[in-house]
Amino acid sequence: MKKPQLLIGTVALAVIVLMLQDRGYGQGGRGAAQGNQAPQTGKAAAPFDPTGYWVSLITNNWRFRMVPPAKGDYAGIPISMAGKKVADAWDPAVDEKAGNECKYYGAASIMYQPTRIHVTWQDDNTLRMDTDAGTQTRLFQFGKPSAAPAKRTWQGSSAAVWEARRANNAAPSARYLKVTTTNMLPGYLRKNGVPYGDSALLTEYYDLYQERDGTTMMIVTAVVQDPVYLEQRYIVISHYKKEPDGSKWDPSPCSARW
Amino acid sequence: MWRAASAAAIAILVVGYVGFAQGVNEAPEGVELTGNWVSRSFTEWNTNTHRAYDFLGMPLNDAGRAWALSHSEEQASEPERQCAFYSSTYFPYGFAPLPMWKETELRTGSTVAWVVGGWLDVVPMVIWMDGRPHPSQYAPHSSSGFTTGVWENDVLTTYTTHMIANLLHRRGPHSDLATMTLRFSRHADILSLTGRIDDPVYLSEPLYVSREWELSSVPVNRAAVPCNVAYEGVPEGTVPHYLPGQNPFVEETTKLWGIPLEAVQGGPEEMYPEYRKKLKDKYVRPDHCVANASEIAAGGCGGPGRVAPVVN
């Protein structure tokens, strides 16, 4: 190769390498708004696609999740004295009589249940999640929070943001979905009356992983803080596998006993 | 002139390449895994209080279920096995602390490997970050196996091969063909560790298992302790086991928790929500919480003050 060609070739290769660096090759993601641009919508800023049908894989704590455990079994939950008092008084018949069969289907525990979920964009700033267990609907609101609803609900009010692990939280490094939920009706963390109260705060982190065999997994890390019924924060992780369609969607009503 | 210009271009290329390589191997700016991570055991409590025959939610195949019926936990007391340690599959199951640090190349400061510290019954796991390939399938196997790592979307993703046949902590077997993918995903002071274990010998489907950890400022043990063999009731040269139909623990879980035996023995269908339909008319909810000896030692049925807080 002659000298000018060698130089041109080397420079071209160097430029390619520097361009790859500038792109943050291998990091992926579309990220959030940059500079003075208008803020992107939640949908436009999504670093991954959370939509579709997903099924929970129950491999951890199977006996607490697939079947309702015995009354008084609080193992693995940092329950407080006040929480124990409520749990010890638990009676599913009372919940049924009061129309509270959905107390175990609230936001603080629904993701840890055996269920399928269907995730869609309701609009550009609202991610909607439906569950077939208990037929619940969660709405994750991006952007400015709307005025808090006057009435508490099982699923509460959820504020969502695409967040980065990096220190400056700057684009394009948004990597996971963070959802903060308040304004929930009091409910149960376990289907034997272990309670969370109306002052509970739920923080969730949604990660998406692509496996070598093509499987797509969504991992949900949920953190429940309750100053009344828990002695410390309660953290559980749930696994969701993406399904090709909704053919296995099987809605079932809330149940206080099963 | 051409020589000088070419040298400059090559220098740019080399610097660019090094930066590119480091961009793949180095932790993204501000993402730090070094520290003392304390296991919380909320997601997986059963492992702490395992029963001798409890494979609930494990996607075991026929070979896995046959292993489970013949296995005796007294094997851990064999003189030949006492210092064998658990394999690296312990980490997403174990309740030991998780100290992590990185080993760097002295001249460049680049990360050669991340290390997850060992504990009483598990050896440290070295996660090679320097791009070295996995050994030949015929290379020697070990408890820790051979692990490589990459950063994917600011998550440390590792891949482990070459583990000797061992236990999935106390929840079943894995063969020496098993592989494991771990994802270390940090959210503020919480570390979510999710494992996927594939095993063509004992599992019908991949097994996912997770555990949560909290950052602590208090140093934790960073290395496995020396192991000495002692007589624990099993003579050298014997392998405790159960012949077909003689495992005395098979019905224990059903008697205590009311869960049908067909579920206790494991199987891939147990992981899915629709399996609850098969259980509904067979499950008998106990009147009150019951605990065996290991559960009592770990806090029994739980209650106030039974979950130790993270010390900072």
B16–chain A Cβ distance below 8 A for any pair: yes
Which of A17, A73, A237 shows the shortest C-beta gap to B43?
A237
pLDDT score for A219: 98
Those residues with Cβ within 8 angstroms of residue B217's Cβ, 6 or more apart along the chain or in another chain: B36, B312
The nearest alpha carbon in chain B to A71 belongs to B288
Q: Is the pLDDT of residue B74 over 90?
A: yes
Which H or E element spans position B241? Answer: none
Nearest to A17 among B17, B187, B286 (CB): B17
Evaluate whether B43 touches A236 at the Cβ level (below 8 Å). Answer: yes
pLDDT tens sequence across B220-237: 777 767 889 999 999 999
Q: Is B210 on the interface with A (CB under 8 A)?
A: yes
SS3 label, residue B273:
coil
* A7-43 per-position pLDDT tens digit: 555 555 544 444 444 333 333 334 444 445 677 899 9
- pTM score, two decimals? 0.89
Pairing mode, strands B166-167 and B173-174: antiparallel
Q: Cβ B192–A166 below 8 Å, yes or no?
A: no
Check if B308 contacts A (Cβ < 8 Å): no
Which of A52-61, A94-103, B123-132, B302-311 is predicted least confidently?
Answer: B302-311
Segments in chain B forming alpha helices (H): 2-25, 62-70, 90-93, 252-257, 261-264, 275-279, 293-297
Local confidence band at B143 (pLDDT 50, 70, 90 cut-offs): very high
Per residue in A102-139, pLDDT (tens digit) is 999 999 999 999 999 999 999 999 999 999 999 999 99
Residue with token string 């609930």: B56
